[in-house]
Amino acid sequence: MVWPMCGRFVSASNADDIARYFDVDDVSEQALAHEPNFNTAPTTDVFVVYADGSSRRLDTFHWGLVPRWAKDLKIGNRLINARSESVAEKPAFRSAFRKRRCILPADGFYEWTKPERASRKQPYYIHRADGEPLAFAGLWEEWRGHLPTAGDTPGDAGAEGEGEATPRGEEVTVRSATILTGAPNEKMAELHDRMPVILPASAWAEWLDPGTDAAELGRFLVPAPSRLITFHPVSTEVNNVRNKGEHLTEEVEVEAPGGP
């Protein structure tokens, strides 16, 4: 058994480098202040490249999509990924898929697998073979609502269009994002039965353009070429989200089958 895809990634490049790589027109103050994190986990703020009118922007959004119709932010904990096979129909994603697509830059990501007869899951660090950033296909949303006050228990998000947000505490606007996943390439299949959708540079403009017909986007929702990625085993220290240092990406020896 493996852990859910895609739940941890590396965001170590600085905003200026990402802006240059993705040909960004404007960088937010939040993005400029974003600190390197070699163990980025859901519900944290992550880099997002998106189109805002005629500009391409770099900002930081909450990782875990919160649909506009959600009663509270809690639903985002379950929507860190969107399956590319059903994203056009799922109520939580279909609106964003039509008009609010984005790219989540990453230096690499982690996945876990359990070798036969091994005593524990082994994490692996997956990254581009040429060292360039990965461009995860993503969706984003903007949610307006009230944060819970002390003692409040947020309710379930409910179904699309049902009910209204109950005024609780401070009113906020939250921009959030999710990562699209799909079938793995031959290389990734050695570790997991899914992988993030990785966009080539030739697809960025169409993917980010809100005017692109969603019916034409299927050609981008395919596995990246196997030659694009490489991977190696890393320390189980990455299992703990409090560990965020660069050492987490260093290669380690894999536990021998039947070992202690």
Query: What digits encode the pLDDT tens for the residues 144-194?
Result: 988 776 555 444 433 343 444 445 677 899 999 999 999 999 999 999 999
Active-site amino acid positions: 6, 111
Other beta carbons within 10 angstroms of residue 99's beta carbon come to: 13
pLDDT tens digits, residue range 49-103? 999 988 999 999 999 999 999 998 999 999 999 999 999 999 999 999 999 999 9
Cα distances (Å, whole numbers) of residue 239 to 8, 223, 259: 9, 26, 20
Check which CATH number belongs to the domain holding 132 and give it.
Answer: 3.90.1680.10
Structural domain includes residue 55: yes
Contacts of 250 (CB under 8 A, 6+ apart): 234, 235
- Residue 247 covered by a domain: no
Quick check: 48 and 28 in contact, CB under 8 A?
A: no
Q: Does residue 197 sit within a domain?
A: yes
Position 244 in a domain: no
pLDDT of residue 156: 40
Domain that holds residue 151: 9-236
The count of other CB atoms within 10 Å of the CB of residue 241 is: 15
Hey, how many other C-beta atoms are within 10 angstroms of the C-beta on 178? 28
- 58, 27 in Cβ contact below 8 A? yes
Q: What is the pLDDT of residues 94-129, one digit of tens each?
A: 999 999 999 999 999 999 998 777 778 999 999 999
User: Does 91 fall in a domain?
Assistant: yes
Q: Does residue 260 fall inside a structural domain? A: no
Residue 248 lies in a domain: no
Q: What is the pLDDT of residue 158?
A: 38
Q: Into how many domains does the chain fold?
A: 1
